[in-house]
Amino acid sequence: MKLKFHIATRIVDMEHPTRNQKDEKDVFVDVDEQFEKHGEEFVFKVLSGTPSKVVLEYDRHYAVKNEHKGYEYNTTLDKDDPKEVTSMWGKNQITMKITYLGMEEE
């Protein structure tokens, strides 16, 4: 059984707004697996998962909208309840809306 996520990514080029990009995809991952690579680093890692919720660790260069946990870089996603994760630095602003869709066979 794998954990299924839907990720809608929006990349805003701050220097050239006409080069903005959008992408949507579903990904299947296991516990302790990293996924969604941007540049050299992975953005997410699954720490634990159940059929109803999952705990994700995210890269320290990103922030979860309306959450501030200081130096903790993890968040809990409930099934079918999306969260927005946004990059805090860089030439491009990357915003991902990530939704946990539950456990499925790939």
CA separation for the pair 86, 58 (Å, rounded): 11
Mean pLDDT confidence for 68-93:
91
3-state SS of 68-102 is CCCCCCEEEEEECCCEEEEECCCCEEEEEEEEEEE
Tens of pLDDT, residue by residue over 14-58, are 888 889 999 999 999 999 999 999 888 999 999 999 999 999 999
For the whole model, what pTM was predicted?
0.91
- The ranges assigned to domains in the chain are 2-104
